[in-house]
Amino acid sequence: MIGLLVMAYGGPDRIEDVEPYILDVRNHRPTAPALIAEMRARYARIGGRSPILERTRAQASALENALLGMGIDCRAWTGMRHWHPYIGDTLRSMEAADVRRAVGLVMAPHFSRMSIGAYVQKVQEAKTGIEVRVIASWHLMQEYLATVLELVERAARRFPEPVRARVPVVFTAHSLPERILGEGDPYATQFAETVEALRAKLDGRACHAAWQSAAHTGEPWLGPDAAAILDNLAAAGEKNVIIAPIGFTCEHVEILYDVDIEYREHAASVGMRMERIDMLNDHPLMMRGLAVRIRDEARRAGWV
């Protein structure tokens, strides 16, 4: 049997978990009470918790079923980077189940040493006897691109017939500190490549690349922020816009609050109607594409 470790960022299961979760994200550095209060307020507005764990478990189940359908003897587990079940705890559970070889998949398409690289570090820190091969990125996987295109067109159909064909799309990914550009990190380049691949298939629909969810750390982060793009579109007379958070695969606070509340309110304040695409979640097409990538990784390792 081959193990599959499906990894995601993690999020609090209840409002009482917000503070310990934020402290984990910040590596238990001293944290201002105002920041904790702000994050508690954000989670309160989205229902008091993050749905990321159940969404990731659904993705893991779909991938397991897809691999079994290919004849691959596989069992999937989920591990979170910053909350329960932690990646290390999941790996120890896998080891107890006699898993000795596993493919690791982070549910984010673009590689950065600060993002995917941090998951790899968590795997290494677990120090289990499992050989884990982590898939680095899948930002140009055709099934991923096709799923995004389907979701963009679905969102466009929410607008009236006369305008839906020309509603612009703002593609977003999580911002990171600008210093990664000087470090040779491929993250921004991969995001740009994804946007260009989508633009080429959108039949002339206006497309824009933007960043979101930048932290306030005292150093510059990648821009422009999506709010600035919304301002530019409104200034040009645009009344409608689609936000497509393609750097993420499921709903969590960066989607349910940053996009659905902050950007929607910002769009309304400049006279625009904003619609967000449905998230990728466990869309069958994308799951099949990822299952093939997992199978091929296992084949390269000589496991199947």
Q: What is the pLDDT of residues 166-182, one digit of tens each?
A: 999 999 999 999 999 99
Residue 47 structural domain: 2-138+283-300
Verify that 122 and 171 share a domain, yes or no: no
Verify that 176 and 83 share a domain, yes or no: no
Verify that 89 and 46 share a domain, yes or no: yes
C-alpha gyration radius of the chain: 20
Verify that 189 and 238 share a domain, yes or no: yes
pLDDT score of 142:
98
Verify that 16 and 128 share a domain, yes or no: yes
Verify that 153 and 75 share a domain, yes or no: no
Verify that 238 and 269 share a domain, yes or no: yes
Verify that 88 and 194 share a domain, yes or no: no
Verify that 150 and 270 share a domain, yes or no: yes
Dist. CA 19–CA 25, nearest whole Å: 10
Verify that 295 and 261 share a domain, yes or no: no
- What is the CATH classification number for the domain harbouring 44? 3.40.50.1400
Q: What would the pLDDT profile of 47-94 be if each residue is shown by its tens digit?
A: 999 999 999 999 999 999 999 999 999 999 999 999 999 999 999 999
Contact between 269 and 238 under an 8 Å Cβ cutoff? The reply is: no
Verify that 101 and 161 share a domain, yes or no: no
Verify that 133 and 166 share a domain, yes or no: no
User: Number of folded domains in the chain?
Assistant: 2
Q: Quick check: 26 pLDDT over 90?
A: yes
